[in-house]
Amino acid sequence: MASNYVVVDTFAGAGGLAEGFFRNGFDILSHIEMNHHAAKTLQTRTLYHALNQMGRQDIYYQYYNQKIRREEFIEEAGSLGISDSSVLNCELSDKNDNLIITRVSHQLAEAGRTNVDVMIGGPPCQAYSLIGRGRDPNRMRNDPRNTLYFHYLRFINEFKPEIFVFENVPGLISARKGEIYSDFLRKINNLGYYTRAEPCILNAQDFGVLQNRRRIIVIGWRRENGFPEPEFESFRTENTVRDLLDDLPRLIPGEGSEGPQEYREPTANTYLKESGIRDHEQSVRHHIARKHNERDREIYRIAIGKWNDERRRIRYNELPERLKTHKNEASFLDRFKVVDGDGVSHAVVAHLSKDGHYFIHPDIRQARSITVREAARIQSFPDNYLFEGPRTAQYVQIGNAVPPLMAEVIAEKIKGMLDNR
């Protein structure tokens, strides 16, 4: 289903947004990502798609199932003429931009192309998020990440894509009292692009993702193209988080494996099949539970019971005195949060890498925080998606990502716009 439309992926992360474009047949010319572990994840996924296109996914699954080492995997792909050179592991910065632009230009020439069709990406959201501003006494006003969108604009100006997709948290609209968002719109307009005046805030839940995750999506196009404004229809599923997680091995803290494990259920349910989360493979990776002390597990059981029985979050000052570890009972009372097994999850965030209390598994028998694979499923990543690096890095990659199911619909809409020029 190749479209031959060329994409440059900036601030690529682990590739959630790019995954949607891969699935719609776009050619990803470059992924630009500064984090070493995320860049390796992108390399792995890029090779997966290339091997899949050649009908040689067996090589990928040898690596997935730990039959061969990463070096052997890359070598095997290389023997078929497949390279991971599209991934540029470097930071978008004043120091690096010229070098990156030169490398992308060379890649464009090697592909026999003179233009970029689509540019995608969004700078790290911590400086714009309401949570991030709440934790910073200066409200993130002096955070250097506030101006990372300048680099996105520089690449727009350099490669002049037909369409761009810019993604971020809704907090971008109010960051620095709205001046960042207004400046972005003003500058993109000066570069000759049209975008809708009102912010377009989409919820991943409206794309079949079992997560309440709101994001601002700015889609713009060169003014001369005259595209109609894209509209997105909601298609929420009636499935729940239990449908999403129930076939995975049940774990207590410390159990599980980073390596392959057999599913608890031999066949996938309808949601897992239709969403593409689970395929024909009989093993799953990244499903190992954190270790928790018994005090935390007791708190988890109370929190799970309270949520399942009363649909109410436990507050810290409601805990028995013997389970409290500090005296502050006036602020941050929602320190423990259970994922809603009978509905959709709250938004997965990168902070999950440091604190599992906010993502407690809904099964009281397991009484633990969610695993990397469970977090990935909540984000709609397929089980065959490998995240490179240590567990903390995997959580960060997943928490920062665009859900692939959401990205797939956005990419489909972009493809339709380009097809109908």
**Cβ atoms within 10 Å of 420's Cβ, excluding its own:** 8
Residue 125 annotated to the active site: yes
Residue with tokens 């619909």: 409
Q: Which of 19, 181, 241, 32 has its CA nearest to residue 116?
A: 32
Separation CA 240–CA 266 (nearest Å): 20
Residue with tokens 């774990």: 251
Catalytic residue among 47, 77, 120, 125: 125
Separation CA 324–CA 172 (nearest Å): 36
Separation CA 391–CA 288 (nearest Å): 9
Separation CA 373–CA 383 (nearest Å): 7
SS3 content of the chain, % helix, strand, coil (to 5): 40, 10, 45
Distance of CA 60 to the CA centre of its chain: 21
DSSP state letters, 118-158: EEEE---STTTSHHHHHH-TTTTTT-GGGGTHHHHHHHHHH
Catalytic residues: 125
